[in-house]
Structure 1
Amino acid sequence: MAAGGGVRAASLMETPRWAVRLRRANGDIVGTGILLSPDRVLTCAHVVDSANGPITAEFVGAAAPDVPSVPARVDEGAYVQEDRDLDGDPGGDLALLELERPRPAADAVRLHRLSSRREVRMYGFPRGHNGGIWFRALAVGGCGRDGQVQLAPTVPGEVAGPGFSGAGVADGTTGEVFGMVLTRHPDGHCFMAPAETIVRHLPQVQAFTVGPTAVDDRLRSTGDDVSADLLDEPFAQRLAEWLRDDGRQVKISVVGPDDRARAATLRRAVSLADRERPAAASAPRSSWGPPATVPSIGGYDLAVDAAGLECAEIAGRIAGRLGLPPCPEGSVSAALRAARSTLDLVVVGVDEAVDPSDLLDLLEVLRAGGSRLLLVFRTAGVAYLRAREELVVRPARERRARLVERLEEVTGPLARALHQRRAEVLPHGLRSVDAYLVAAHAALADLTRTPDDPARLPDLARYERLAERAAAGLSAHAERLDLLRERCDELGGRLRGYRVLHQHAAQGVEDPAVDALYLRAHALLQTRPCDVREAEAAVAAYTHRVDGTDASARDRGGAPR
């Protein structure tokens, strides 16, 4: 058994013992489940709708000659059907099944509270794979308002179709199960409910869930925070924007020790974005102020109050949230630097940590690895100024420099190479890329005349997307022009070959009509830029005439006249 209780996910070469195949009385396989305890199976509500008859749970990974089958019924106190909010975002769709006979406790698995962006694998029973199959995907981040996470397939064809609903989602490296597949979109994407979302809807599942919660208790809202007098609306909007991923990797704020409104606004944002317990106060979510100030659930993976904490303790919490295996003391930073997963992290009271300098070093490791950071300071002192320079200003300056270099490559070498090709062949049927070049030149001009201050920089993410689109467009255009140049060379070789064949067959007798066709084709192939389409037609006319003329000569037994 794993340290947290239950078993870990099996390797890709094994059928996990916790994977449950769910079948109707008519023999149809309707979905998948996760064995959380000897007598409880987690699955989707739509899989086990009671109106569709009884369910049988089958344990294909069991250590037994035959597949054990156990009748199961829906736990009526643990059934949350799927619903949709006013915006059409889905929520719920979770259920617990109670088994008629218990399974071995060693076969059950625990759900783990982990960060949401990582490579994953899931085991389900799609059509044609009754014995089950592993599929791989990438958890790309939150979606909707229920704390769900989008899964994108990483291997063509590994699309979680019918039969995967209710499948366990495991970390691709450690095998820890941290969520459940909900449903699939027609474009191939599917969605999962992470452990915290499941626990919020089904509090009974908390008994089968391990790992610390995402939020320090000191950062949770209280009933007093609901007061309108304690809502700093502009600050709340900025927090909500970052928690919805506004494109800024690092956001730094100051919340003074005596600023009750900002402190309450910060606790409110952290509480509302918590997947497991959004809004600790009794007031409904919809009453917590203007919509623009309400963040999406799941806007971060971990929120830490750093006041009085050693850097090693904070690093350990981050490593645990990322699902990293235990590290020897002093090597956590190295493990975080090598980690493939990232997280969205909120750290409050950075300058109140035992050693803010060590903490800033750790935060730089996370930033460099791609994690997003919301950092709150109590004063705009030395630690704040260092964080702003090292985590915001310098990275923005370096990012802009890389972007300028990329745009200079697009408007320089790539553009020149394209113009050289266009001087050789006409791009018939190819979409013009001139618009890309105009946009790239304009973006380069904007970036080179703006100051280094990150607050005054243009939207770098937008310009990065533009640069990559322009580079891809120019490269694709150049590749197509290269194909036309190759075709031009092929036509020249074909024309020369037929010329030799015709001269040999004609035995010195001239044919002005054939020669005229040759001269036209030759002239078109030598013209720059070459109209390949027109040259292709001219070469075809010549070779067709040569084929017919030479055949007639052979039929007459002599040279053509």
Structure 2
Amino acid sequence: MGELRADWRLRLRRGDAHGPVCGAGVLVDQYTALTCAHVVRHPDAVMWLEFAENSDLEPVSARVMPGGWLPEGERGEDVAVLRLDSPRPQARRAPLQPGLWAGMEVYATGYAEGFDDGMSLWGRIGGASGERVQLDAVTKAEVVRAGFSGAAVCTRPRDGRPTRVVGLVVSWRGDLGEVLPENNRLSFSYLIAVDRIAELSPLVAELSGPAAWDERFEERLTRWFDDPDANPVKITVVPPGSGKDRSLRHLAHRAHVVHRGGSGKPYLIDHALEQVAFPAGGYLAYWGWLDGTRPQPEGAAQRAPDPPVTVLVDGLDEEPRPDALIDVLARLRVFGFRLLLVFRHEGGPGWTAARDRLLRPALLHHADALLDRLQQAEARWMQRYRMVDSESLAPVTATAEGHRAARRLIGEVRDPQQQLTRLRALVRALRADLSVHGDR
């Protein structure tokens, strides 16, 4: 099944943070949310967006962005595109899916009276009703009601496929005009599809297009941020204006220090030193060392932060003097800083230097550290082996000494790319063997 909780499902209040709950919304990127125009009521209204399913995220005010007021009428379909007053990159965005079909199983979570914490209703996509789409509930009690307007209509998660947002709830209608759906003979819910919203809003068209995001890149990058034991230096190419670029911007907040290419070496040094507990009066000594004008302070390596600090250099090849910045980054590795180096063009300025002075030394050091850990894990395994029935112990797939032989051979490889390929393979093998020993 899919995720039980979703950051991108929003509960809306009108006026201020303590105003009445008036509907739902969908976060589509860190700056933007969608809801119904009739929930907002006026194009100059201030709305409060709450992350009802993630209490770690602070509520935020929002207002209709220019061109985002699309009320019911000739061009609009009861949609409001909201701009958050401060971004929420920590929240996962809604995955938008243009296109739906009759019979598709869907559900929506809204905030009806008495259900401020949310309630979910299920149904199937029916037929078209003008520019809206009919949503057929199993029973009249499952027809949407007040508090569901603006709620995401989501695909049913199945077969490992993630949930996707295919539209917004906009209304319901009963044939007798009674206040509650169940008091009518016939009752139906209605939604506006993502592809129709995209026709009305260029921004939604951009965010919902097939190249809007690079989800595989997001998954890889998220794993790297989450795993302090991953390769300590990561180099990636992110073309400007691409889906990969948008995904990077959404995850950039995960780094402790973000350096934009072209900001200059002093900017990086100042912000990196904010992460280091240097001794009183030692700022100039450490600043000068990172700048290359003073020797390394005694005991600098012992001041490595725990957990490690992550630095994102966004556009290393856009730096006027990339080699000078690489010198600073190499010294920051003394503190155990993890580096995510983004090039905007493969093979751009600084490419070879980053590989030879940052990536290869970091991987060699990382492999040696993993080898030491594996050797210690094997020693512990042997101690247990002497005292415990061997059938109760996990099997050992390779010895640290065997990996050390492979490590020595890597040191003899002269071609940088071949050396990197073998290093990465060795690191993967070491991590696999450590996991056998329960050391991750």
The TM-score, its normalising length taken from structure 2, stands at: 0.41
The TM-score, its normalising length taken from structure 1, stands at: 0.33
Structure number with higher helix proportion: 1
Structure number with higher strand proportion: 2
